[in-house]
Structure 1
Amino acid sequence: MKIIAAQMDWQSLAEKALHGECLSLEEGLAVLEADNDEVLLLMQAAFKVRNHFYGKKVKLNMIINAKSGLCPEDCGYCSQSIVSTAPVQKYTLLDKDTLLAGAREALARKAGTYCIVAAGKGPTDKELSQVVDAVKEIRQTMPLKICACLGILNDDQAKRLAEAGVHRYNHNLNTSKANYPAITSTHSYDQRVETVEKVKTHGMSPCSGVIIGMGETNQEIIEMAYALRELDSDSIPINFLNAIPGTPLVHAGRTPSMKALKVLALFRFICPSKEIRVAGGREVNLRTLQPLSLFAANSLFVGDYLTTAGQEISADYQMIEDLGFEIELNAL
């Protein structure tokens, strides 16, 4: 496969993506296995696609950990899972005033999307009502798009969230179908796919992404991108594992920075028109190469993640400015 990578014309992959054609498995492997000397040329090709659909705009998202450390699931990457011994805060779903304060903070950070995330297999009726009440008031008083991430939903729950005004629902595939049993046993890959399809039927925009660095092969990374293309996910967060002490995946190595850039380019080629977000773990895995990520990605989180710290917000603003890019503000 190295021979294919050495002979690959990266601009031809950009043209293929712009014409709506999907990369072959062999082309995808060529991207992921490219020599590091090819990375700048690869990112230039990815930027051609990104620029066509998004110009130099960068979408900002802010996340609030609306319920922490009480999850009964056994996801190996998560510090909030039942099998984790990480010293994280534990609290039930935040009240409406706290969720509203988070929305105001999102606006102050120039975020266009406010992400309400609650750990757990799925919301109780009481929890859903709390989120619905907060969402309704946010929609009435603030120019924010709202993304909810509450776990697996039934039809009635999806309907209530959509009617309340939730724009987008996040439910990540996380890894490949083949690798999924190695990551969690308390729910299935298919259940995640079903939830994404369910939110689509109720008119919410689907947000679904992956976590890179959990033992998957390069072929499985490509299969993840194919799966998200098939799901027609509008927003694709690309997380890079931040191995947290106390979690089963604590000993997983970080994704090399150059490999992380190749992954972002791959997803841009396979899902060319979608919002690609460089998400959790970018600071730990991309390190000083974070600015290059925005030549493929067009979105990022500002501030902290669920249980880990993010880069200083001022550093994100500076990075965007230094690239000659600009923050995309909502026009609701």
Structure 2
Amino acid sequence: MHTTRHDWTREEIAAIYHKPFLDLVYEAASIHRANKDYNEVQISSLISIKTGGCAEDCAYCPQAARYNTDVNVHALMKVSEVVSAAVRAKEGGASRLCMGAAWREVRDNRDFDRVIEMVKAVNDMDMEVCCTLGMLTESQAQRLADAGLYAYNHNLDTSEDDYKRIISTRTYDDRLNTIKNVRKAKLTVCSGGIIGLGETVEDRVSMLHTLANMPKHPESVPVNALVPVKGTPLEDQPRVPIWDMVRMIATARVVMPNSVVRLSAGRTEMSTLEQAFCFMAGANSIFAGDKLLTTPNPAFVDDMAMFELLGLKTREAFKNGRPARVLPQEEVLSE
């Protein structure tokens, strides 16, 4: 079996990334196939529970209030609307529902109370629940955990050196501190990044270095290809070559052998053959459903046809077990 390490150097990761393409894919595929469930793909469905009007200035994001995009601002969804979306997602084959809110950080108010109700409702449907709500304190992470949250997404986006070019309204340390707070609440971590922002290969390697050297690797690592949106500072960025996506996925698979690596944004631009290369290189998760927050995504029916063609199967929810919850004292029953 491939040894899991947390002491990678940037030079080692760069050497993996720069291997001859077919050698890299072969190495990553070999590591991936050492796992008996290599042909199993986890399907997540992502919904925007609160859209637009965000105070942040992330250069790639159409939901920032300061950019003039086609995204309309929508208030926080009702719990019943989220449950309906979860039912549709589950029927389509999704085992995880990810709920995203265009907030800079979580505030302890009625909106957060409603998100807690959403988490409880979806958790009761036997789906893994993930949230991405911006920055989070330790006590807020604990509240989400107590409600039944399974995962929290907080992407690094890019390298620490490149970060200030993409976002000025928060720091890289803010991102890392949120991930630490998520870990303290015993939640699983979903954290990856975006390529195609105008970053260098060194930035990509540096981001993977940060993720791979965390005390515990993120259980889920999304690799996103930028979807340029008119009205954002990155609207003119060229499409990411498929070779770059495969290299990122393969390198992530080698340095984080037990993480679920998600082929995320940018799939609408990819052919079935290109996606097959990504699965071969170690991707074992996708977002399914017709939208990713505000950008287009393949429909469930198209993905199921692709799964059948490639001989892939869907991963069940809670494959690695539900996280152990510490019950309040009065709920602990004596034997």
Same fold (TM over 0.5): yes
Q: Determine if the alignment matches structure 1 residue 88 to structure 2 residue 64.
A: no
* C-alpha displacement of 1:158: 1.1
Higher mean displacement: 39-48 or 161-170: 39-48
Match of 1:323 in 2: 310
1:122-150 Cα deviation digits (max 9, x unpaired): 1232221001112212223x110000111
* SS of 2:48 mapped into structure 1: strand
- Whether 2:215 is the aligned partner of 1:242: answer no
What residue is the counterpart of 1:11 in the other structure? none
2:33 to 51, 71, 79: 51
Q: Distance in 2 between matches of 1:320 and 1:138?
A: 25
TM-superposed CA distance for 1:252, in Å, is 1.4
Q: Whole-Å Cα distance in 1 between the matches of residues 204 and 63 of structure 2?
A: 25
Structure 1 gaps of 5+ residues are 1-14
**Distance change >3 Å, CA 186–CA 25, structure 1 → 2:** closer
In the other structure, the counterpart of 2:126 is 143
Percent identity of equivalent pairs:
31
User: 1:198 and 2:185 equivalent?
Assistant: no
CA distance in 2, matches of 1:78, 1:319: 29
Shift of residue 285 of structure 1? 5.9
Residue 131 of structure 1 corresponds to which residue in structure 2?
115
Q: Structure 1 residues 123, 145: CA separation in 2 closer, same or farther (over 3 Å shift)?
A: same
SS state at 2:155 partner: coil
CA distance, structure 2, for counterparts of residue 75 and residue 299 of structure 1: 25
Equivalent position of 1:165 in the other structure: 148
Using the TM superposition, give the Cα deviation of residue 80 of structure 1 relative to its aligned residue in structure 2, in angstroms: 0.3
Tell me whether 1:113 sits opposite 2:96 in the alignment: yes
How far 1:27 moved relative to its partner?
Answer: 4.4
Question: Is the 8 Å Cα contact of residues 110 and 329 (structure 1) preserved in structure 2?
Answer: no
The secondary structure found in structure 2 opposite 1:116 is strand
Specify every segment of 5 or more residues in structure 2 that has no aligned partner in the other structure, as ranges: 323-335
How many aligned residue pairs are there? 312
Superposed CA deviations along residues 182-210 of structure 1, whole A, max 9, x for unmatched, are 00111111100000010110111111110
Q: With structure 1 as the length reference, what TM-score do the two structures score? A: 0.89
Amino acid at match of 2:52: G
Contact kept, 8 Å, 1:260 with 1:285, in 2: the verdict is no
Kindly provide the amino acid, as one letter, of the partner of residue 166 in structure 1: L
The C-alpha deviation readout for 1:201-238, integer Å capped at 9, x for no partner, is 01111111101111221122111111112232111111
Quick check: 2:8–2:212 contact (8 Å CA) kept in 1? no
Say whether residues 1:308 and 2:284 are aligned partners. Answer: no
Q: Which moved more, 1:179-188 or 1:116-125?
A: 116-125
Structure 1 residue 41 displacement after superposition: 3.8
Letter in structure 2 aligned against 1:42: L
